[in-house]
Amino acid sequence: MIVTVCSVKGSPGASTLAVALAVADGWPQDVPPVMVEADPAGGDVSGWHAVADAPGLVTLAAQCRTGTATLAEHASRLACSAQVVVAPGGRPQATAAVELLAATDVRLWSQDRTVLVDAGRWHPLSPAAPLMTAADVLLVVVRGDAGALKQAADARLPGNAALVVVGETVFPASEISAVLGAPVIAGVPLDRHGAAVLCGARPPARGWRRVGLPAAARALAEALLTDAATRARLAQPVGGEWP
């Protein structure tokens, strides 16, 4: 299953949510999930967690050109326990690697694993667009305040898009869904502590995954896995029930 995470405008917390989903134990654990950082604007994770950017996206993209790919070989394990294929921090290097990866068949490197792709900002002409449209679900992260929602309106999101609203909102899901043109699949809380662990600014404390953002990410993972229910929800804008 490929779940791609992106933003529309600003910095609502797409990369942080992708790492949170990678540590969520709601996925099948026989083959642990891997996050692939594929933001053409440059990766954050190697800087956040002080890990080398090789192996990473560049080595994965190079291996894909040989016609085989073993995702786990290119992943780094973070202190928060996420396995991440990290992108170079610089835009030109990251864009080049994303272009190479996006030109491959996603099944070559995703195989039977749960793969979380951080594709940066949604735009139909983004070098990462194929990684967004080929995903089983494209999670579009937006903040819940009026200003952020207004900025995200009319983004012309693809058909596999589902919205994740970060923080409190006064707007019903049906309204958000109508304005942005995609169903709302989840709300996740503002959680300074959880975000700091996921961004490498704090060490993980005992039980940190049981509350806040990591707990919401786990619920989201479980919701995505209940395949039939998810597809049914994605097929029509949800109204009324706001998490």
Ligand X SMILES: Nc1ncnc2c1ncn2[C@@H]1O[C@H](COP(=O)(O)OP(=O)(O)O)[C@@H](O)[C@H]1O
- Residue 215 has which token pair? 């707990």
- Which one of ligand X, Mg ion, none is in contact with 199 (Cβ closer than 5 to 8 A by kind)? ligand X
- Residue 192 has which token pair? 């300074």
Member of 75, 162, 213, 220 binding ligand X (CB under 6 A): 213
> 115-121 and 137-143: which strand pairing?
unpaired
Q: How far apart are CA 148 and CA 144, in angstroms?
A: 7
Q: Measured from the CB of residue 63, what is the shortest distance to ligand X in angstroms?
A: 26
Q: Which is nearer to ligand X, 101 or 142 (CB)?
A: 142
Give me the 106-125 binding string for ligand X, x by CB under 6 A, dash otherwise.
Answer: --------------------
- Which one of ligand X, Mg ion, none is in contact with 192 (Cβ closer than 5 to 8 A by kind)? ligand X
Q: Other C-beta atoms within 10 Å of 105: how many?
A: 12
Member of 3, 4, 8, 15 binding Mg ion (CB under 5 A): 15
68, 74 contact by CB (below 8 A): no
Query: What do you get for the CA distance between the two ends of the chain, in Å?
Result: 24
H helix or E strand, kind and range, residue 150: helix 146-152
- Site size toward ligand X (CB under 6 A) is 17
Q: How far apart are CA 175 and CA 8, in angstroms?
A: 17
Member of 1, 3, 8, 13 binding ligand X (CB under 6 A): 13
178 burial via Cβ count (<10 Å: 0-12, 13-18, 19+): middle
- Which one of Mg ion, ligand X, none is in contact with 136 (Cβ closer than 5 to 8 A by kind)? none
7 binds ligand X (CB under 6 A): yes
Q: Measured from the CB of residue 198, what is the shortest distance to ligand X in angstroms?
A: 7
Q: Which residues bind ligand X (CB under 6 A)?
A: 7, 11-16, 44, 141, 166, 188, 190-192, 195, 199, 213
Interface ranges with Mg ion (CB under 5 A):
14-15
